[in-house]
Amino acid sequence: MVSHQLSFSMNLSAARSRRIRKPTLPERPVIEFEDVSFTFNRHPVLEAVNFSVKEREFVSIVGPNGSGKTTLLKLMLGLIHPQAGSVRVFGDRPEHARRRIGYMPQHAHLDPQFPVDVMSVVLMGRLGHSRSFGPYTRVDKEIARNALRQMDMWERRKSHFSALSGGQRQRVLIARALATRPELLLLDEPTAGLDLAVETELSELLHSLAEHLTIILVSHDFAFVSRYVNRVLCVKRTVVAHPTSEVVGETITRLYGSSLKMVRHDKTNSGASGPCAHS
C-alpha cells in the first residue's frame, strides 16, 4: 500500500514536470486507514486497523458497545489522533478535510437550557461555507429549510430546541449534518431513538443521497444495514470489511456474543440475517 502510494505520487510529479496530460488516475479513496492504532490512557481501543472507503460507497460500521465505532469516526474527523499509523480523508489530513464532512454525533454534549430555536441549530451547519461574519445568506436559509423538510421537522422550526423530544432533537442534528452539504456524511447511530416511520424515511433518504455522496453510518440496526449498505465494517479491536451479502448470523454471534438474540428480528431478503461473517 505504501509503495503503491509512493509510485502514485511520483507519477504525478513526473507528469507535472513534463507538462504532459495527466493520465486518468484510479479513483482515490475517500477514507484510508493504514495500520492505525489508538489507545485511551494505555487502554488499547483499536489495533492495526486497515481499510479504505471509496467514493460514493454506503458503508456501515457495526460492533458491540465499547468496540471503538465512535472512536473510528472521531479519527476520521481529526478530533482525536492515532498513536500509530495514518488516517487520510480525501487524501488529506482529517483536519483539512473537515469542512467537506457532515457529522452527527452519538452524544452531543449540549446545554439543554440553551436559548436557541430549531432553525438556528440547523443553520449552524452552514458555518464554514457562509460568510465569515454577519448574518446567514438566503442560500444558507434555503439549504437549512430543505434539510429540515427532509427530516420532517419544518413545522417545528421555530420551537425552542430544548422543547423537543429526544428523537426530534436527533432529527434536527441529522438535518444540521445534511445542511453542511457534505461530500462525506458520518452518522453515529442515527436510527437510535427514531420511530419506525422516521427511520424508514431516513433510510430512503440516505439511499437516495448515496448516489451523490459517501456515507458512513454506525448502526446496531441490522435490518437497516443489510437492506441498504454496500459494505459492512466490523469493529472489535480491529476492523474487518465485508460486502453486505457475505454478512451472516454466525459471525454476528462471534462479534456480539450472546446479545445477538435481541437484535435478530430482521426482515432481510437476501438470506443474510445480519452483518458480519468472518469465515
Partner 1 sequence: MCAFLIDLQQHLFLQYALLTGALASVACGVIGAFVLVKRITYIAGGIAHSVLGGMGLALFLQKNGHWEAVTPLHGAVAAAILSALIIGVVSLRAKQREDTVIGALWAVGMAVGVLFISRTPGYNTDLMSYLFGNILMVSTRELWFLVGLDVVVVAAGLAFYNQFVAVCFDGEFAALRGLKVDFFYLLLLCLTALTTVVLAMVVGLVMVIALLTLPTAIAEFFSKTLARMMVLSCVLCFGFTSAGLAVSYGPDLPVGATTILIAGAAYLTMIVVKRLALPGSIGP
Ligand X SMILES: Nc1ncnc2c1ncn2[C@@H]1O[C@H](COP(=O)(O)OP(=O)(O)OP(=O)(O)O)[C@@H](O)[C@H]1O
Give me the least distance between CB of 118 and partner 1, in Å please: 10
- Taking every pair of C-alpha atoms in the chain, what is the biggest distance, in angstroms? 62
**63 within 8 A of 236, measured Cβ to Cβ:** yes
User: What whole-number distance in Å separates Cα of residue 45 and Cα of residue 49?
Assistant: 11
Please name the amino acid found at residue 8.
F
User: Quick check: 40 binds ligand X (CB under 6 A)?
Assistant: yes
CB atoms within 10 A of CB 80: 16
Indicate the helix (H) or strand (E) that contains 147: helix 138-150
In degrees, rounded to 5, the angle at the alpha carbon of residue 159 between the alpha carbons of residues 155 and 165 is 90
Q: Which is nearer to Mg ion, 72 or 143 (CB)?
A: 72
Q: Coil, strand or helix: which one is 198?
A: helix
Give me the least distance between CB of 15 and ligand X, in Å please: 41
Per CB under 6 A, the segment of 39-47, 52-60, 91-99, 111-119 that binds ligand X is 39-47
CB atoms within 10 A of CB 232: 27
Give me the least distance between CB of 239 and ligand X, in Å please: 11
Indicate the helix (H) or strand (E) that contains 53: strand 43-53
Q: Which is nearer to Mg ion, 69 or 242 (CB)?
A: 69
Give me the least distance between CB of 109 and partner 1, in Å please: 7
Grid cell 475517500 in the structure block, residue: 30
User: What whole-number distance in Å separates Cα of residue 164 and Cα of residue 182?
Assistant: 25
User: Quick check: 166 binds partner 1 (CB under 8 A)?
Assistant: no
The DSSP secondary-structure symbol of 160 reads: B
Please name the amino acid found at residue 181.
R
User: What whole-number distance in Å separates Cα of residue 147 and Cα of residue 104?
Assistant: 13
Per CB under 6 A, contacts with ligand X among 45-64 are 45, 63
68 binds, among partner 1, ligand X, Mg ion, none (CB under 5 to 8 A by kind): ligand X
User: Quick check: 66 binds ligand X (CB under 6 A)?
Assistant: yes
CB atoms within 10 A of CB 115: 9
* Site string (66-85) toward partner 1, x via CB under 8 A: -----------x-x------
User: Quick check: 180 binds partner 1 (CB under 8 A)?
Assistant: yes
- The three cell numbers locating residue 175: 438535518
Per CB under 8 A, contacts with partner 1 among 101-130 are 101, 103, 105, 108-111, 114-117, 120-121, 123-125, 127-128, 130
Contacting residue, 29, 33, 34, 67, with ligand X by CB under 6 A: 67
User: Quick check: 178 binds partner 1 (CB under 8 A)?
Assistant: no
List of residues contacting Mg ion (CB under 5 A): 69-70, 106
List of residues contacting partner 1 (CB under 8 A): 77, 79, 98-99, 101, 103, 105, 108-111, 114-117, 120-121, 123-125, 127-128, 130, 133-136, 158, 160, 176, 180
